[in-house]
Amino acid sequence: MTDSDNLPIWPPPRPPDPAGRNGCVTAILVLVGVVLLLPGFCTIAFFRGGLHQGMGLIALITSVVGLGGLALIVFALARSGR
């Protein structure tokens, strides 16, 4: 018997993902997207009864931030291939 017969057999290392996808990056993007959705939900909750004078710009900005969060979530999930 030779020493090569007693060596442990290790599985070969996994090749890197050719698309460059990383599960941690996807999770972080989804988490940031959820945080960005919160201003949009607050806008809906506070202004459900109607907009007050001068609050239209704030509602527009927070709605755009919420839509950005939704776009970030969609981008992250599409990037991960799910």
pLDDT along the chain (82 residues), means of 10: 64 68 83 92 80 79 92 88 65
40, 60 contact by CB (below 8 A): no
Specify the pLDDT at position 1. Answer: 52
- Residue 32: inside a domain: no
Q: For residue 61, what are the domain limits?
A: 37-82
Distinct helix (H) and strand (E) counts, the chain = 2, 0
- Residue 42: inside a domain: yes
Specify the pLDDT at position 64. Answer: 92
- Residue 70: inside a domain: yes
Specify the pLDDT at position 34. Answer: 94
Specify the pLDDT at position 20. Answer: 61
